[in-house]
Amino acid sequence: MPTQPLSQKEIEDRLRELPGWSVESDRLIRTYRLGDHFAATALVVHVAQIQQELDHHSDLTLGYNTVAVSVNTHSVGGAVTELDFRLAERVEGIAPGHGAN
Strands 27-33 and 66-71: antiparallel
- Band (pLDDT 50/70/90 cuts) for residue 101 is very low
Residue 20 has pLDDT above 80, yes or no: yes
Confidence (pLDDT) at 83: 96
How much is the pTM? Answer: 0.91
- Band (pLDDT 50/70/90 cuts) for residue 96 is low
Average pLDDT score, the chain: 92
Q: How many CA atoms lie within 13 A of 77 on its CB side?
A: 3
The CA angle 70-20-22, to the nearest 5 degrees, is 50
| Correct CATH for 8-96 of 3.40.50.10860, 3.30.1490.20, 3.30.1360.20, 3.40.50.300 | 3.30.1360.20
Residue 10 has pLDDT above 60, yes or no: yes
